[in-house]
Each structure stands twice: as C-alpha cells, then as structure tokens.
Structure 1
Amino acid sequence: MRLVPAILPTLLLCTGLLAGCKPNTASNTAATATSAPSAGTVAAEDLLPGAQLLLERYRKLIVLLADERAMSDTERAAANQVGQALFHENLADRAKLEARIAALTTSAQERRFETFEALLAQVESGKGLFDADRLAYRELLKALELSLQQDSTLPAIKLHKRVGEDLDAMQEIEHQYDKELRQVFDRFETRAITLKREKWDDYVAHLKKLYSREQIMKDYGQIVPYPAAKAGDDDQEKPVFGYDLPPKTLVLTFDDGPHNAYTDEIAAILKQYNAPAVFFEVGNNLGSVNDSGKAQLGARANVAKRLKDAGYVLANHSYSHAQLSKETGDPLKAEINRTDQLLKVVDPSPSHLFRFPYGASSREAMNELAALKLRSIMWNIDSLDWADPVPNSIADRVLKSVAKEGRGIILFHDIHERTVTALPKILEQLTAEGYRFAGWDGKGFSASTAAPSPAEDKTTVTTGYEDSWAVVVGIDNYAKWPKLQYAARDADAIRQALIDEFGFASERVFSLKNGEATRNAILSTFHDRLAHGGVKKNDRIFVFFAGHGATRKLSSGRDLGYIIPVDSDPAQMASDAIPMTEIQNIAESLTAKHVLFVMDACYSGLGLTRGGGNNAFLKENARRIGRQMLTAGGADQLVADGGPNGHSVFTWTLLQGLAGKADLNGDGFITGTELAAYIAPAVASISQQTPAFGSLPGSQGGEFVFQLKPETEFLSPATEQLPREALALNQKLAEATPAASSAPVTVKDLQGNETKLAVPKPVAANARQLAQRANDRGLQLYREQQYAAAEAQFTEALKQRPDFALAANNLGFIYLKQQKYKEAARWFENTIKMDPSRAVAYRNLGDACIQSGEKDCARKAFGTYLELVPSGSGADYAKQQIDRL
C-alpha cells in the first residue's frame, strides 16, 4: 500500500499535526514485511531499526515540547536543551542512514530494492503509525529519492516514482492540516478565543501514553530543579540574549549550517526583506583542521563565503556541535579554536561571536571564549524549527513569541526545508507590524539581569539530648520456659542499630543475652548502672527486651504483666519474674528526660495514659519528661518468630521503622508515637499479635526521639539489597502501614482499648534537608528493589538540590540496574562534574560504558578510578576490566 493523499478523506482529515484519529491498522502485505522481513533482507535489518529510532526521537520531541506555553522559563530552557540533543542525535543517525542508502543504491546487491521496499512499507503502513508520525520520515525519503535518481534500472525508476508519490502525500498531509485549522477556527478569531489544536491534542495524548516529558529529560541527564534563585557570575561577561534590544527590534540567527541547499535559499529570502542575520556555523561543515593546526576548507565553505559576500555575519557554533558544558581541557579548546580558524580563512575580519550548542556552557568554556575575545550569543525566542515538522506551526509560534517578548534574538536553523518554508510568512508579518531587523554592529548588547541570591538555609532542629543510654536484653535459652529462636539475635541487631545509626556510645549500651539476663542482672543494670551510673536529666534511655512475657490474674481481678528473666520458674513467677509495676517504678526513678521501653513480648495489666505531640513538639519536648512503652502484643498472645534475617516479626518491623519507615511525617525524626503508629498496625496485620503503646504514669507528655542519620552511601555493585524473604515481608508491611502523613493512627493500649496516636507535624526544612530525605528514601527503596519508586525519590532530591552528587550517582545506578546504560552514563558524568574526586562514580561510569559498547569511555573511567583509589575495594575489578578492553 502506498502512502497517497486519497486515503485522507476517509480518515476524516486525520492529517499532519492535527492527527486525531486512530492509527492506520489496515492489514496488508507490506506491513507484514515491515514487522518480519525475510531472512535474506539483511540490509532492511540495517535500515528499519534506524528508521524506527528516528520516529521514536521525533515523538519524544513532540512530547517534550508539547504545552510549551505552560512551562516556566527554566523548564522551557531545559526542555529545549534536551530537545536539541535529541534532534542532533537524529541528525547524526539520519546521516548514517542516508549514507547507507547511497551505498546500497550503487551496490550490486540483488536485494537492495527489497530493502527500500521494506523501508517504504514501514513509512506507508507501519503498524500503529499516525499520519503525523509519517512526517518524521520525510527527510529520509528525500534522500532515498535523490539516491534513486542515480540508478537508471527499471526497479529503481519504479521505486523513485513510489517515493515521489509518498512525498506528495506527506505534502498533502501538511496541507490538509492547515486547511482544517482554518476551517475550524477562522470564524472565532474576532472573538479573541484561544485557538486549540484539538486533533493534535489527541495525537499528543497518544504519545504521552508512550513517553513523559520529565522522563525524556531525565534520560538525557536533565532534571529541572524547583524554582530557586541562584547567584550570578558577576566576574564573567554574560551571554547576550536580546532582552535589552530596543522595542520592536529583532535579530535573526541561524544555527548548524551551512547547508548545501537550504542556506542559499534562506539568504535569498532575507534579501527580499532586507533583513540582516547572523549564521552560526558548525566547523566541520566548513572543512577540517589537521593536528598541526592547518585549516582546510571543504565544499560547503563556498556557501559561507557567499553569505559573507552578501553582507551576512558568520559566527562560531563549535567544531562538531558537542555539548561543551561536558568538555574540558584540550577537547574544549579544540571545539572552539578549530572553527575559529576555519572562519578566519573564510572571513579575515571575523565577527567574534559564539553560540554554545544546546545553549549549554560552563565556567571553563566561558573563560576560553574570553581568552579568544569571543562573545556568547544566546536567544530569547526559539522557533523550535529543529523539532516541529510543520512550517505553519513554526511560523505561528515565532509570531506569538515575538508578540509576547516585543524584542529579542530569534533562533532558527538553516538546515531544514521547513525553515525555508516558514520564513517568508514570518518576515512578511513582522515587517507589516513594524518590527526592525538588527545586524551585529560589533558593540554587543547588555546582559540579562542576574538572578537574586538563594535564601540562606534554616538551622537544623536537633533532639537536644546530651547522652544516650540503652539496656538491651535477649533470651533464647530458657531453662524452664519454652526456648526461643531469635530473641538474642534481635537484641544484637537492635544494639548495633543504636550504635551505628543513632550515635549511642557502645560503652553506654548494656547488653544482656541468654544466661547473662538473670533477674538480678537485669534489675542491677537498671538500679546500679543507670539510676546511679551518671545518667543526667537531659539524657535518654532506650530499653529493649526480647523474651517471654506473661500475665497473671490477681485476686482483685486485675491483670499483672511480667517479663521473664532467664532464671525464672513458671511456678514461682510472682517472686522471680519482674512485674510491670517494678518496671514502672524503675521508669520513675530514672533521671533521664525521656525513656522508651520496647518489649518484644506480650503483656497486659499496666494501665497507660495516652501521650501526644503538639505542633511545636520538638521545642516543647525538651521541657517535658517522657516515659513510654511499646509492647509486641496483648495478654496470652504468642510472639511471632520466623521473620527475615533471623528476627521476630515484631523486631524486624521495629528495625524497618528505625531505618526510616517510621518517620511518618517526613521530618527526619522518629518519635515514640510515630514508632508505635508504624509498628502496631503493621504487626497486627501480618500476625496474631496486637502491639500496644502508651505513656507510663508520671509521664508529662514528652516523646522519646530518634534523629535519622543522613545516608551517605554512593550506590555501587557492593551495595547490599534485602533478601527475598525480607522483600516479601516488607511488601506486606507496606500494604498495612499508614502512608507518611500527620493523620492520627488508631492502636491498642495495654488494656485492649483503642486509642488514637497523633503524629507530630513536620518541622520546617530547607531544600538541602528535603533533598537529603528524598535521597534516603530512595536508598531504602533501592534496597527493596523498588527501582521505579527509588528513581522518583532520587529525582525529587535533584529537584530540591541540583548539585547533589550523591543523588546524581544513585539515580545513575538505578538506570544501570534497569539496563538503561546510556542514561546511566549521563548521570554518572553529571556526578563527576559535581564531584570530580568521587571515585565510585568513575567505577560506575566504567560499567555503564562497557554495557553500552563505549570501550574508550570505559577504559578512561576505570583508569581514573585507579588513579584516585589505587588500593580501593574495586581496584582489582577495574584492572581486570581495563585488561579485557
């Protein structure tokens, strides 16, 4: 099936950028050939994937730049930068495809015509294509048409005719789009109603199901930070944007040329309107510079000479259109110097103007410009002719942007036929409206106003404790009670967490396990080592008990709970177990400000009073005594052993909470109430236990507080992740626990009544703190292999703090885990740019480069890693990789 205009009426004018109907799903043999080329069509396998990649990037450009008017200036600039990267990748790949087409045309391969037919079948009737999609292939078909002209065989002549028909149909698609736009909206213009491209919106909505703008930008190493003022570089000459031009004054600029056909056409159009312009030339389009520095002009340099002779200004746009913000040293200098040399051959009196590819500069690059006395010229009006395939859409965009800005520098590209088509309409309208077109006079324009300085960080709020103490008891090996499996291991894990994560000094964490945990030893630890051992009024005490608990009904009918030491006899529980009333007396006798008992055992019989926070709780908390208790379950309930990593279910959940999941209000602190609000509903949902929580008598409403330690780990292959059983249990916990919020949570008290726990509201946080918290959550999610959620958190961290090297590396590693190797490499490169001494980022970059087939990149990255840490843990691995390369 050919792509012919005749199909358009039956598609209800589903045409061009107004493609609002469903994709063409007509069944035909050509479509079948596209999806499954014959085994002998080797060349088709070369062309079709490349053509598909052109379409994917074309679609991404549309999604990236859709709704551009709704974007902030920062978002628009970042989107344009990524869009230009996408466009130039397409340009390079299209050039390779065109070269392949040319080589096939002149070859003697018998199946070359099958190859071209397969390509045309994809364009004409590929599965899932909208009409608007087909415009992505127009330049490729033009190259095929030109190539087939060189072949006089009958099959070539037939194919040439078919390509011509397809190009005519594409022209009709574009024409029908314009026609329908006028038919639908012309009658509304006098009513000042905003025009909407409704069918185009349908097409964009379809594309947005495939891609998102944020993801496209992130894949290309760009995350738009939340709006924040940044300090200006007052010590550097600023780029020229055109904001300070006189009213109704415009500068026309054209990038990426010269082109062997379109540049002359553009110059002729400019001449008709007497409009000056600046042409920013890519050096390797003009010629080459050898190692000795000698410039050799190529054929397209003649186009540049004609521009110069016609009075247009030539300027430097780098040698290879590299992203110079990522280049340093000699490669950076070469990108600028080589084009400067070539331009001086074409024009002995150069303009000394420079434009950064993608608008991406750096301090080093700006310094290099200053050394060469070059001036950076940017733009404030982007035609987006590098992305938008429809000339009238380009023209409308420019005219509306000019109306809004009133003055400035317009960015065009002289390498597109669509620009040639759009330019006359633009110049005609602007001339009629009284705009003037300015040329470069050698004096330059004023720089844009520097942004205000960022607000200073607020002071971090801390818990205010002086010293931290702990008693940790774990008993498995009971002599007269049933043996337990995991209590001693639970105690070890809690002890280590207190020391490693919360800053408890090891000498102040008293551990009693198994035979050590007698009744006398436990009470002695409380009375002698704590009550009389130097505990001060601004200290905190954490008590953890993992073992048996029991409840005895008194003659009064009241229940009394006990914790069971290792030497307790069930028959003598009243005399050799420790009653909860004794624990209460101990709690009241301790000097510390806050005490929290966490009992991985089951109790009843201790009436608790409800504790709660208030809005300014961290300040108030410093003045209030707190005595709180969290138990694993109620009377006669069995503690559930068999949790992951050799822990009870309760203690595993406790450890997860202390790792950050119990920070329900996201303020970087975990209170006793938050810990209970996280643990109680979670444990109750996955076991037969009903954890209980409350404040002991004598408490004044104070809260025990843990301050989370910021994560500093740069993700690497050495980073541990949770085992399968832990992942499974954590998934169940996630389904049962409340989302991070300040909403009250209902739990049980020790008498079995329901009580609501009010979670303290968050304290004020600055962007740096918010970025750290997001990164910490991302690390937690990574360990649980929740890569998409981790990616979202690292993204959030970089939005809050764009220079956060830790989050940049971690985002790159998430990409690496998802086998997105080029995207991973971009973020590892960003990390190195932020923190050049971070060795692990070079190792990660090396891995990403190996996977994407970039051997030179990998060799360089591993080499730098070895220079930084020659005896590091990954040194042997890096050496092995270099040897293999």
Structure 2
Amino acid sequence: MKLSKPLVIGVAIVAAAAAGAAYLKTGAKPHGTPAPVAAVAANPADAGNAHAPLQAEMRSMLANYRKIIVLLADEQSLSELDRKAAGQVGQVLFHENVERIGKARQLLAKLQEAPAAQRDAAYDILLTYIESAPDLFDADRLAFREVLVEMKQQAAANQTLPGIKLHKRVSEDLAALEDIERQYDKELSGIFARFDQRAIVPKRERWEDYVDHLKKLFTRDQIMKDYGVIVPYPNKPGPDDAAKEIFGKSLPPKTVVLTFDDGPHATYTDEVAAILKQYGVTGVFFQVGKNLGEVDAQGKEALSKKQAAASRRLLEGGNVLANHSYSHALLSKEKGDQLYGEIAQADQLLKAVDTRRSALFRFPYGAHNAEGLEILNKLGLRSVMWNIDSLDWADPVPTSIANRVLGSLEKEKRGIILFHDIHERTIKTLPLVLDKLVADGYSFATWDGNDFTITKPGKPEPDKVAISTGYANSYAVVIGINDYQKWPKLQYAVQDAKAIRDTLVNRFGFDNSRVFTLTNGDATRNNILALFHDKLAEAKLKKDDRIFVFFAGHGATRQLSSGRSLGYIIPVDSDPQQVSVDAIPMTDLQNIAESLDAKHLLFVMDACYSGLGLTRGGGTTAFLRDNARRIGRQMLTAGGADQMVADGGPNGHSVFTWTLLQALGGKADLNGDGMITATELAAYVAPAVSSVSQQTPAFGSLPGSEGGEFVFQLPAEAEFLSENSAQLSQEAIALNKKLDTGRSSQAEGNAVVVKNLQGEEQKIAAPKPVDASSRQLAQRANDRGLQLYKEKQYAQAEAAFTEALKYRPDFGLAANNLGFVYFKQDKYAEAARWFENTIQMDASRAIAYLNLGDARQRQGDQEKAKKAYASFLELAPNHPSAGYAREQLKKLG
C-alpha cells in the first residue's frame, strides 16, 4: 500500500528516531576509535551477552514503533477527540524512542571497547536479527534504520578488511530498507533480487496484512490507557479553559500560521528558515529550553552558543521565538515548583537569547492542567495549540505529510499547522506544502502580540437532579435463630441476620436505633410480635416511612382442612407438634403489613414454606413519581414448601442470604439507575439461588398492595483502592461466578421468570432507567468496578473504571482505582501513570501518593518512591498506613 495513505503515518519510527538523534543535540559521532570488525561469519557463541542490552533497546523501539502505527491507523475515521488523544500518546512514544536512540548510540560505542571476537559476534547477532528474524515483517525492519546508520558510521571510520565487510553489509541492509519503503509506496510491485541471502530479503507483505497483524498485538484504546489517557465520551466543552488558549479554527478563511516545535536544531532549523525566506513567509518556533542551554542551581543561565545563534538568526528573518518548556516533559503530570520551573526556566533562556522573544507557549504533546495554565497567566504567557497536525513526527514520507496537511486544510479552510524543525523530512515537506498554499492564495499569519482569535468556550453540562427514593425514616426488623429449643439447630442464621443489619446501617444509612434485632433465645413468639405491635407502634410511623423485615430461621407449611396451605415462621420457642399454636402464620404477617402506617414494606424470609398467595409486582416507566404515591407490601422468600435451606454459602452465610448481600452490594441494580427495587432484588436473587441449590425463591406483592416498590438507593462508593482493600475469598468468588452465570442464563433481557408461593410462574422485569448525568453514570461505573475488583475480575474492573473516566475525565477516584487494577496485574509503569493522574486531579488524596510510592518502588525508581511516600506522610501522618510508609522510607534510605 502507498505510504501516503493515512494508514501508514507511523510506518517508520526510524524517521522519528532520526529526528531523535537531532533532538538530543549531543554529538552524533561515535565515541572513540572503532575497533576492527570481524567478517560476518564470526561465531555467535563468542558474543556472550555483549549484544543483549542493545537488542533489548531495539525490541523496545520496535514495540513503540508498532504502537504508533496502531494508534494512528485509520486516522481519518477517528473523532477529533480520538485523534488528539492518539497523537498525544504517539508523541510520548516517539520521545521515548528518541531517548532509546541515544542509549543505542552509547551502547554501540561501548561495544567498540569489547574484545574483538565478542564484539564481532555481537554485530553478527544484531544484524542477523534485523535481516532475518522470522517474527519481523518488512515494515518492522524500518524501525532499526537509525541503529544501522550508526553502525555504518562506525564501520566507515575503520578501513580494515573486517570494517569494510561490515560497512558493505550494513550499506546493503540500508539500501534494502530504502527499497522496502519505496515498494510499499508502489504497492510492493517488483522483486528485490539483487540482495544476497545474508542481507534483508523483503517478503513483500501487503501493508494491510502488516497493520492487521499489529492490531492483533495492540489496540488503540489499550495503548492510550496504558499511557494514562482515556478519551471521554463526547460532551459539551468544559469551563473556560479554552478561553485561556489560542487555536487556529477562528482564523480568517484561507489563513494559516506555520509553527515548528522541539528546536533549535543545529542543522535543520536553519534549513527551515531558509525555505521560509525563499517563499517570503515566517513561522513561530516553539523551542525547548535545554536545547538553548541550561539554568544552574543559583538561577544563572548558560547558553549554548551554536543553538542560541540559530535562534537569533530566526528572529533576524522575521520569525517568532516561543516557549516549549525546558525539557519537553509531560506537563499535565507536573505541579508546583517542577511545573513552574519547566515554564519559567525556558522563558529565562529565551529572554537571554533575545528579549524580543514572544509571550507564546506550547505545552508538550498539547497536554496541560489547570495549574499550568495558571502559571502561564502569572508569567504573562499565552498557550497556543494547533488544529492541523502534520504528524511529521510519525510519518517518514514527505509526500504523505504534505498530503495530510493539505487534505486537512481542504476541510478546515484555515488553521495553525504543527511541524517540527528537528526532522530532515520536514525540510522535504515544506516546499510541497508551500507551493500548493501559495498557488491557492493562502495568507500566512504571524504573531504581533494579539493577532490570533480565541475560540469561545462552551457551557458545561449541568448536573441533573439527584435520584431520590423520597423516604422519611427507615425502620427494620431483623431476626436470626440458630439455637432452636425443639427444632433442628441451624448454623448460619444469626450470622446472616447480623450481616443484614450491618448492611442496612452501614451501607444504606438506616438509623441504628430504628433497626430492631432479635437473635436466638430472644427471638420468642411474643418478642417477635411485640416488635411489630409495640416497637413499630411506638415509633409513630409516617406515611413516607419504609420498613424492611428479615427473618432467618425455620419455616413450615401446614395443610388446612380446606385444602389450602398455610405457611409459618418458627420462633425459637416453637414446638414442632404445636405449630398452629406457637408459630407465627403468614396471615399474621399479612395483617401486620396492612396495619402499619408506612409507604413501603418488604419482607425477606430466609426460610422455606408455602401458604401465602402473592400478587404480581412490577414497575412503570414513570417509576419514581408513581412509586411515591403507591403503597407497597412485598415479600421475597428463600424457597417453597418441603425445600431445605442451603447453608453452605461463604463467610458463614446461607446461600440465599449470601446472594441477597451480593444483590444489595449492587448486583441487583439490573437497569443501572443507581437504585435497587424489591422487584430487581427478586429478579437477581431468585434465579441465581435456584441455579446453585434446590431452592426456588418466590416473590410477590401482598394483598392490599397498590403496586408500590420498596427501593434501596445505592450509596456512591468512595473507596480509593490500595493494598488494604479487601477482596473476596476464592470460595466466594467461585460461588459469585456461578450465581451470575445462573442468573444470566435464565434472564430474557432484564426480565426473569420467578415463582409465587403457590408455585405459579410469573415474569418480572426491572424498572426502566431514569435519566442521569455524566457524573452519576461515572459513579455507577466506578461502583461496578469495585464489585469486580473484589471478585478479582481485573479485566472487567479495568473496563468499568475506564467507562467511569470516559463519562467524567476528572474523576480522581476512578483514576486511582484504574491504577490499582494495573498494579494488581504487575503493570507498574501503567499504574504509576494513573496514580499521577489521580494526584493531578485531586492532590489531597493521600492514598494515591502511597500507591504511587509502591508502584515506583516496584519499578526500581527509589527516588520517586521516596518522594511519593514522603508526600503521603505530609498529607496523612496519622493514617493507618503511615507506619508502613515510614518503614518503606527507612528501607529506601
């Protein structure tokens, strides 16, 4: 395929690497005098490990090169947000490879100092890998051009026979790369018959096949997420950040601004300036401070004479000098003195070059934070972005770069164009672009202090009204009996009751004084009835109150003379021979329910029996409004007559109560509206329990109910995941997986078939979702991620936290939690990026510093780990993990 197609903007990181060699601005010549190079037949066994460090760098270059291709493949089909984010991450990958080229150059120089046999064998291993590794595509080999160029320079300095042979071999390999690049541009027609078997033998793969292969290795979203970037869902523009920056979309029609980043370069900057002069146009050059010189600890600047002279020549030619930070760091990750220094020190050096420097600034990668914009404001600087990205940092083919710029301008009709004056290909591209723009009558704008128009910011989306269940007071009756006097003893009922009580109080905000509890010997018939008749009567219930009743114990069913079945709950003092006298019939519960002056009442009975006719329950489309007006009396039971309660659940619970607890933890929010209705509770619990036991839970509305629904409003989870975050046992995780699978297998959409107490089937469905804001949707996704994390479903948890950040990009809680999911999978670099994102979003969150310290320590970066632990202790000296942080600091010295 032709390289000019958008698909191939990243075809050769080699070109980016070539730019990187210039960008580092250190001497490109090899250090020392090259030692003789052996013939290519040197024994690879003699290489030892001399080749290993360089080959490791080459593999890392290749990985980044491939990721850039995946990021920018099909660029024209991406949304503007996706293109911007992909470009930002791509530039980070590019600058990582810039650094790797520098390391490779040093390693090649070091290789010259190795013993002759070892050095020569290492060269052979490296070249054989480039030429004929079976896992490399032709396009992959383009990633190693800069390494080959450096080898060729070393060989050229050595006129011995081995050096000449090495020079010939590397030259042939470089020629093969040139042909591979040309052949892709010409649809790979022709055969490279002139190369012998030791050099690169092109396979003539189709470009689409290569890209398809890379897409199996990487996905665009995952690459960006690994580098701390998630593209949010489309939304209205945020608050007035846009007002603080300059864009190109509001320029007059057919007007462009030419901008060049990352210089000054000792050679290419002057060449760019000469081309601009030839066409009678000027540009804005955003320069990196460290390329101009340095600022010492006392704040004194020292300029590089050569680089400073190049910048002054730009000014003399009518061009504009502007600030591109001191070290080209990702400033959205920086804060405080470090962030201030990146901006201020570069400005200091630019002023030292010439006081006529402009007050313009461009954030590296276009990435910034609110603090960075505020610093610009304090320093009197203005941020300049772009709307036409040439992608000359990724695309090695000048015609492809030119076509991209011109194609973008055809749509935009105006804009600020981003180039880089550190690439040879930019020199070749500029005339192609300028010829066309001049012919089409474009104007070229420059900065005169206040000439660029600012785009007006949009208004942020207002939060919608929070969902509310409309209850006044919440009451509960919780009963659990293990130690029956005359019935078989149970193992888990008391534990079940305690867990339900804790859930009501700690999760759903029931007042502790309004949760009436009876266990074991206290749960007599008289005491149970007294709770309903006396305690609840004394409470003076109001019409907007709710009552939740939970019973864990024995149940029984008796056949009446009429043939009808009647169900009972069994108090601790009941006699199996006197059930009709000292047990509590379900009809009594029905009468109690009708007599209580509360809006909604829900019985949940972890006991098995039959004998109470229930009516079908369900929701309406205007659920919240209608539900506030309707009386609700509902019941959910663990099973039917003659069924045994399964007591084998995790953590000392019955299977039914364990499932109920998972449902109340959020799994029963089947329509994702942040609420759990009694119907949803039944729709999750009943099929899940029946799928793993012999029980068939039943659900329905008691006679007298008007169709109202008991509703639990899920609280917003606020847990910042850390090493102290609890996860479920393997037993619990295994059961939950079975429960979820069983429930899903019986569901038809959001509806399931559930039995009533008469054994009849009824289809029940959850209410439809209500309208929710992005903030609410983000919170729900985060909450879902926490559930998945507890079950160690890391891939699904990662997806949920990602979803939360798509709805709300500044959601520090979800950012930390996403980072910790990476941490649990031993992806420490990715974890650190998201912990840093968290700190940037909310610097007061101490736990994020602790997590960052752990991630940096696992990476082996002791200094950054120490800094993170120290920040954690400054913010939270009395935190339960403070002792741990101090211990880590002590270990790190």
TM normalised by structure 2 equals 0.90
Match of 1:470 among 473, 476, 479: 476
- What code does the residue aligned with 2:226 have? D
Tell me the distance in 1 between the aligned counterparts of 2:447 and 2:755.
80
1:801: Cα distance to partner?
1.2
Question: Following TM superposition, by how much is the alpha carbon of 1:345 offset from its aligned partner in structure 2, in angstroms?
Answer: 4.3
Counterparts in 2 of 1:533 and 1:313: CA distance versus 1, 3 Å: closer
Matched residue SS, 2:558: strand
| Whole-angstrom distance in 1 between the partners of 2:122 and 2:311 | 37
Give the distance between the partners of 1:18 and 1:451, measured in 2 at CA.
Answer: 33
CA distance in 2, matches of 1:37, 1:872: 56
Equivalence map 1:624-773=2 (5 Å): 624-738=630-744, 743-773=750-780
Residues 103, 280 of structure 1: alpha-carbon distance in 2 compared, 3 angstrom cutoff: farther
Equivalent residue number for residue 355 of structure 1: 362
Displacement after TM superposition at 1:596 (Å): 0.8
Is 1:331 equivalent to 2:338 in the alignment?
yes
- Residue by residue, what CA displacement relative to the aligned partner does 1:709-761 show, whole Å, maximum 9, x if unpaired? 11111111111000111001001011012399963211111111110112111
The alpha carbon displacement at 1:855 in A equals 1.4
The amino acid across from 1:863 in the alignment is A
Within 2, Cα distance between the matches of 1:633 and 1:101? 75
Following the alignment from structure 1 to structure 2, what is the Cα–Cα distance between the partners of residues 833 and 437? 38
Following the alignment from structure 1 to structure 2, what is the Cα–Cα distance between the partners of residues 153 and 312?
A: 48
The equivalent position to 1:96 in structure 2, one of 103, 117, 124, is 103
Shift of 1:330: 3.1
2:826 is aligned with 1:819: yes
Tell me the distance in 1 between the aligned counterparts of 2:845 and 2:508.
Answer: 26
Moved over 6 A (4+): 15-19, 739-742
Residues 690 and 697, structure 2, Cα contact 8 Å, conserved in 1: yes
* Counterparts in 2 of 1:182 and 1:834: CA distance versus 1, 3 Å: same
Per-residue CA deviations over 1:525-574 (Å, capped at 9, x if unaligned) read 11121245422222111111111111111222221111111111111111
Residue 466 of structure 2: aligned partner = 460
- Counting only pairs closer than 5 Å after superposition, residues 57-68 of structure 1 correspond to structure 2 as 57-68=64-75
Is 1:406 the equivalent of 2:413?
A: yes
Which of the residues 767, 782, 804 maps onto 1:797?
804
> How many angstroms apart in 2 are the aligned matches of 1:702 and 1:526?
21
**Equivalent residue runs for 1:257-272 within 5 Å:** 257-272=263-278
Aligned residues of 2:243 and 2:457 also touching (Cα < 8 A): no
| Alignment partners' CA distance in 1, 2:773 and 2:585 | 47
Structure 1 gap ranges (5+): 1-7, 9-14, 20-32, 184-197
Q: After superposing the two structures, state which structure 1 stretch, 478-487 or 137-146, moved more.
A: 137-146
1:327: how far off?
2.6
8 Å Cα contact 2:10/2:394 also seen in 1:
no
Task: Within 5 Å, give how 1:498-647 maps onto structure 2.
Answer: 498-647=504-653
1:367 is displaced (CA, Å) by 4.0
Relative to 1, partners in 2 of residues 1:460 and 1:154: Cα closer, same or farther, differing over 3 Å? same
Distance between the aligned counterparts of 2:600 and 2:254, measured in 1?
A: 70
- How far apart, CA to CA, are the structure 2 residues paired with 1:181 and 1:436? 39
Compared CA separation, residues 148 and 746, structure 1 to 2 (3 A): same
Cα distance change on mapping 1:305 and 1:180 into 2, 3 Å: same
Alpha-carbon distance in 2 for matches of 1:46, 1:773: 46
2:115 and 2:312 mapped to 1: Cα distance? 39
In the alignment, is the contact (CA less than 8 A) between 1:240 and 1:444 conserved in 2? no
1:289 pairs with one of 267, 292, 295: 295
Asked whether the equivalents of residues 240 and 445 of structure 1 are also in contact (C-alpha less than 8 Å), the reply is: no
Q: Distance in 2 between matches of 1:313 and 1:157?
A: 47
Residue identity matched to 1:432: A
Deviates more, 1:261-270 or 1:379-388: 261-270
C-alpha deviations, 1:335-379, integer Å up to 9, x for none? 233333433444453344332211123344334434544443322
User: 1:74 aligns to what?
Assistant: 81
Task: Check conservation: 1:355, 1:378, Cα contact below 8 A.
Answer: yes
Q: One-letter code of the match for 1:655?
A: L
Q: What does the per-residue CA deviation read over 1:425-464, in whole Å, with 9 as the maximum and x for residues that have no partner? A: 32333333333444x3523433332221113211112111
Within a 5 Å distance, the mapping from 1:23-34 to structure 2 comes to none
Q: Residue 214 and residue 353 in structure 1: after superposition, are their counterparts in 2 closer, same or farther (change >3 A)?
A: same
Instruction: Kindly provide the amino acid, as one letter, of the partner of residue 871 in structure 1.
Output: N
Q: Give CA deviations for 1:598-624 in whole Å, capped at 9, x if unaligned.
A: 111111121111111111121111111
Aligned amino acid, residue 230 of structure 1 = P
Cα gap change, 1:669 to 1:157, in 2 (>3 Å): same
Aligned equivalent of 1:397:
404
Q: Which residue of 2 aligns with 1:49?
A: 56
Secondary structure of 2:630's aligned partner? coil
CA distance in 1, matches of 2:61, 2:521: 72
Deviations 1:487-506 (A, max 9, x none): 11111111111111111111
What is the alpha-carbon distance in structure 2 between the residues aligned to residue 41 and residue 273 of structure 1?
A: 56
Task: List aligned pairs for 1:169-248, cutoff 5 A.
Answer: 169-180=176-187, 199-233=206-240, 238-248=244-254
How many angstroms apart in 2 are the aligned matches of 1:441 and 1:786? Answer: 53
Counterpart CA distance in 1 for 2:434 and 2:50 is: 44
Over 3 Å counting, the alpha-carbon distance change for 1:248 and 1:276 in structure 2 is: same
Q: Which runs of 5+ in 2 are unaligned?
A: 2-6, 12-39, 191-204
Q: Would the aligned equivalents of 1:260 and 1:303 in 2 still touch at CA under 8 Å?
A: yes
Structure 2 counterpart of 1:880? 887
Whole-angstrom CA distance in 1 between matches of 2:135 and 2:122? 21
**Cα distance, 1:580–1:372 mapped onto 2, change above 3 Å:** closer
Q: Secondary structure, in 3 states, of the residue corresponding to 2:516?
A: strand
Q: Is the 8 A contact 1:742 1:759 kept in 2?
A: no
Could you say which residue in structure 2 is the equivalent of 1:868?
875
Q: Which one is further off, 697-706 or 295-304?
A: 295-304
Paired residue total = 842
For the residues of structure 1 that align with 2:693 and 2:661, how far apart are their CA atoms? 17
Give CA deviations for 1:366-412 in whole Å, capped at 9, x if unaligned.
34434544443322110111122333322221121121122222111
Which stretch shifts more, 357-366 or 294-303? 294-303
Mark the CA change 1:447 to 1:232 in structure 2 (over 3 Å): closer, same or farther. farther
Instruction: Please tell me the residue identity of whatever aligns with 1:152.
Output: Q
Equivalent of 1:846 in 833, 844, 853: 853
Distance of 2:152 and 2:405 partners within structure 1: 31
CA deviations 1:633-676 (Å, max 9, x no partner) are: 11101000110000000000000001111111111111111100
The partner residue of 2:151 within 128, 131, 144 is 144
**Deviation sequence 1:819-877 (CA, Å, 0-9, x none):** 11111111111111121111111111111111112211111111111111212101111
How high is the TM-score relative to the length of structure 1? 0.91
Kept in 1: contact 2:570–2:583 (CA 8 A): yes
Distance in 1 between residues matched to 2:823 and 2:763, nearest whole Å: 44
RMSD between aligned residues: 2.6
2:285 match: 279
Counterpart Cα distance in 1 of 2:47 and 2:173: 26
Question: Does 2:787 match 1:780?
Answer: yes
Distance in 2 of aligned mates of 1:532 and 1:742? 44
What residue identity is the alignment partner of 1:686?
A: V
Q: Structure 1 residue 130: deviation in Å?
A: 1.7
Cα separation, partners in 2 of 1:703 and 1:652, compared to 1, 3 Å: same
1:148, distance to aligned residue in structure 2 (A): 2.7
| Residues 10 and 395, structure 2, Cα contact 8 Å, conserved in 1 | no
Identity among equivalent positions (%) equals 63
Q: Distance in 2 between matches of 1:519 and 1:333?
A: 73
Distance 1:541 1:337, change over 3 A: closer
